[in-house]
């Protein structure tokens, strides 16, 4: 399995893989599209600064075509819409998540599919 990257390492690798074939993915260009200072992005990619806020992470996900939830997780965060859902029925979701914590992926996936395919 691939060794787990830090948030910054992940960003840098994602961006550098794209800049190889598209000059629009220089650190400065990406920073501009995302709406942050280049020096800030530079420090983030080198893990010299802690990851940015959720809004900036989401913009980065869009620009780099990465999964926002994965990026947020690497940043030590959880999407605010998920938090709101949990908070709306805390006992229910707390129980469910704790039950599923030790379940293998395929079991959880089966649940997701069953719910989605409307046997409910």
> What residues make contact with DNA under the rule CB under 7 A?
19, 23, 26-29, 35-40, 42-43, 45-46, 48-56
Give the separation between CA 96 and CA 116, rounded to whole angstroms.
Answer: 17
- The distance of closest approach from Cβ of residue 24 to a second copy in the complex, given in angstroms and rounded to an integer, is 27
Q: Of 35-43, 46-54, 57-65, 80-88, which segment contacts a second copy by CB under 8 A? A: 80-88
Q: Of 12-20, 24-32, 54-62, 74-82, which segment contacts a second copy by CB under 8 A? A: 74-82
Beta strands in 1-116 (DSSP E): none
Q: Rule CB under 8 A: is residue 35 a binding residue for a second copy?
A: no
Give the separation between CA 75 and CA 85, rounded to whole angstroms.
Answer: 20
Q: Give the alpha-carbon dihedral of 57, 48, 28, 30, to 10 degrees.
A: -20
């Amino acid at each position: 399995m691939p060794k787990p990257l830090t948030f910054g390492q992940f960003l840098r690798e994602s961006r550098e893989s794209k800049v190889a074939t598209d000059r629009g993915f220089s650190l400065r260009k990406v920073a501009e599209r995302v709406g942050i200072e280049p020096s800030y992005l530079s420090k983030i990619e080198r893990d010299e600064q802690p990851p940015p806020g959720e809004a900036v992470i989401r913009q980065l996900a869009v620009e780099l075509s990465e999964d926002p939830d994965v990026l947020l997780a690497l940043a030590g965060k959880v999407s605010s819409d998920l938090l709101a859902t949990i908070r709306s029925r805390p006992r229910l979701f707390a129980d469910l998540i704790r039950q599923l914590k030790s379940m293998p992926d395929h079991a959880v996936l089966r649940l997701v599919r069953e719910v989605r395919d409307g046997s409910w």
